[in-house]
Amino acid sequence: MKVEIGVKALGANERQAEANRRRLREAGWVAVNLLSSPGSGKTSLIEAALPRLEAVCAVAVVEGDVETARDAERVAAAGGRAVQIETRGACHLDARMVARALDELELGRPASGWGLLLVENVGNLVCPAEYLLGEELRVVLLSTPEGDDKVAKYPEVFRTADAVVLNKMDLAPYLDFRVERVGRDLAAVRPGVPVFPLSARSGEGVEAWLEWLVRNARERLELRKSAGA
Ligand SMILES: Nc1nc2c(ncn2[C@@H]2O[C@H](COP(=O)(O)OP(=O)(O)OP(=O)(O)O)[C@@H](O)[C@H]2O)c(=O)[nH]1
Ligand SMILES: [Mg+2]
C-alpha cells in the first residue's frame, strides 16, 4: 500500500513537471535544476554566472531552501530576479512548488528571444534526485571539501546529471580530493557526462561551464520547438 501511494505521488509530480516544462517552453524559457549537498556552492555559482548569462539571455532564479529567503536575497543583491520557496521541512523541491513560483515570476517572452530559469534545489544529495520539476537540464555540483567518494556513495543523483560541476577547486591544494577518482566513479554511473572543475569564488573554469550551459539550453529549446512538444 505504501509503495502504491509513493508511485501515485511520483506520477502526479511527473505530470505537473511536464505541465511546467510546456508552460516554460511556450514562453521561451528553459529550466535548469541545480542539485548538490548543502553548501557546495550552488548560490555562489549562480551569483558568478548572472552577469555573464544576462549578456546572452533573460535569467530568472527559483531558490529552494527548508527555511529563510537568504539565497533569494543574495541573488537579488547580485542584480538577479529571484523568488524563494521555503519547503518548511521537505528535503526537496517538487513540481507543484515550482508551478507556484512560476505564477509569482510571471515569465513573459523575453526580448532576447529566450530565457534561462535557474532552479536551486534544497541542499541534499538524495531526495531531490527523484523529483522532476520541469527542467530540461540537470546540473549536479560536488565541492572539494565534501570528498572525492561522493559519486560512489550517492550514485542516484549523479545518474540523472547532464553535467557535473566540481566546485571549490581553489581549495584542492589543501585537500586530498582526486578529480581522477570522481571521473572513474562517474564513468560507472553516468558514462560520458561532462565534468567542469571550477571555482565559483575565483571564477576560474566558470566560463567553460557557462558555454556548455548556454549551448545545451538552446539546443533543448530548439529540439522541443521542432518536435512541437
Ligand atoms: N573557497 C571557496 N569557497 C566557496 C566557493 N563556492 C562557494 N564557496 C563558499 O561555500 C559556502 C557555501 O556556499 P553557497 O553558495 O551558499 O552554497 P549552497 O550550495 O548554495 O548552499 P545551500 O543553499 O545551503 O545548499 C559559502 O561560504 C561560500 O562562500 C569556491 O569556489 N571556493
Ligand atoms: Mg544556496
Whether 121 lines ligand 1, by a CB cut-off of 6 Å, is no
Whether 102 lines ligand 1, by a CB cut-off of 6 Å, is no
Q: Write the CB contacts of 150 (distance below 8 Å, at least 6 apart in sequence).
A: 37, 125, 142, 182
- CATH for 2-227 is 3.40.50.300
Q: What is the pLDDT of residues 65-86, one digit of tens each?
A: 999 999 999 999 999 999 999 9
Cell numbers representing residue 93 in the block: 523541491
Cβ–Cβ < 8 Å for 122, 91: yes
* Distance in Å, CA 3 to ligand 2 centroid: 32
pLDDT score for 229: 61
Substitution candidate for ligand 1 out of 44, 91, 125 with most atoms within 8 A of CB: 44
Q: What is the pLDDT of residues 43-58, one digit of tens each?
A: 999 999 999 999 999 9
Q: What is the pLDDT of residues 119-131, one digit of tens each?
A: 999 999 999 999 9
| Cα-based distances in Å from 54 to 50, 78, 140, 201 | 6, 12, 22, 19
Q: Where are the domains of the chain?
A: 2-227
With a cut of 70, say whether residue 60 has pLDDT above it: yes
Interatomic CA distance for residues 91 and 209, integer angstroms: 27
Share of the chain above pLDDT 90, in %: 91
Nearest CA to ligand 1 atom 25: 38
Nearest CA to ligand 1 atom 32: 168
Q: What is the pLDDT of residues 156-175, one digit of tens each?
A: 999 999 999 999 999 999 99
* 8 compared with 97, residue with greater pLDDT: 97
With a cut of 60, say whether residue 191 has pLDDT above it: yes
Residue 195: how many CB atoms within 10 A of its CB? 16
Select from 48, 114, 112 the least CA-distant residue to 75.
48
Which ligand is the nearest neighbour of the Cα of 44? 1
Cβ–Cβ < 8 Å for 105, 81: yes
* Distance in Å, CA 199 to ligand 1 centroid: 10
pLDDT band at 227 (very low <50, low <70, confident <90, very high): confident
* Distance in Å, CA 131 to ligand 1 centroid: 23
